A and B are shown apart, each in its own frame.
Chain A
Amino acid sequence: QSALTQPASVSGSPGQSITISCTGTSSDVGGYNYVSWYQQHPGEAPKLMIYEVTNRPSGVSDRFSGSKSGNTASLTISGLQAEDEADYYCSAYTITYTWVFGGGTKVTVL
């Protein structure tokens, strides 16, 4: 199972909105609504930010939102803040009963 495709880096100024894409295939991203997103700060464990494409766990800011169209899922961060600077990973469940991650996107707040 190949890794999902994410841009290596995305940047934005405080207050702006940015979107991170995550492209897979009909066997993973496009096949189910089981796409999730994770935030990882340096030296820390990842944290679940979005599950089932659009759902936020309690405690996650509503500045984070998810969507999906076909084989591409997206994470949007609105009102960008300094604390949002981190690595972000998408993940999808696949038709072969496995999970696959994206390569990760480094978000920089200018």
Chain B
Amino acid sequence: QMQLVESGGGVVQPGKFLRLSCTASGFIFSSVGMHWVRQAPGKGLEWVAFVSFDASNKFYGASVKGRSSISRDNFKDTLYLEVNNLRVEDTAVYYCVKERSRTWSFDFWGQGTLVTVSS
């Protein structure tokens, strides 16, 4: 069955750098686009970033644009998110999400990894 397993969360100081990873299995990772979506504690969902199946297209949400980078390694079936200059408001559970091809919807979600930005 499909699995998405995020890692790399934890407590990070403001202004620092963070790299999240997501390992995929149970589907052909190299054929689908992938997203990161986050959810602050007790709050709603916020789309963070998207990378197309071949990494030729990358798009970012306004709150992380310019200080983050989404990437993928189709040989390792792994998705990444790097965020620089972390802010307290980046505190959230970060979900790795598989797209439902050509429907612009979020098909399958990982269980998420919690990032806490605090001094």
The reply to whether B112 and A104 contact each other, CB–CB distance below 8 Å, is no
The reply to whether B105 and A104 contact each other, CB–CB distance below 8 Å, is no
The reply to whether B109 and A46 contact each other, CB–CB distance below 8 Å, is yes
Which of A18-26, A78-86, A92-100 binds B?
A: A92-100
The reply to whether A45 and B47 contact each other, CB–CB distance below 8 Å, is no
The reply to whether B100 and A45 contact each other, CB–CB distance below 8 Å, is no
A64 / chain B contacts, CB cutoff of 8 Å: none
A99 / chain B contacts, CB cutoff of 8 Å: 35, 47, 50, 61, 104
B76 to chain A, nearest CB (A): 22
**Between A and B, how many residue pairs show CB distances below 8 Å?**
67
Binding site for B on A (CB under 8 A): 1, 3, 32, 34, 36, 38, 40, 45-48, 51-52, 55, 57, 89, 91, 93, 97-104
Since A48-B105, A57-B107 are in contact, a sample of 10 more A-B pairs with Cβ atoms closer than 8 Å, ordered by chain A residue number, is: A47-B109, A51-B100, A51-B105, A91-B47, A91-B105, A97-B57, A99-B50, A100-B47, A101-B47, A103-B44
B92 to chain A, nearest CB (A): 13
Q: Does B25 contact A (CB under 8 A)?
A: no
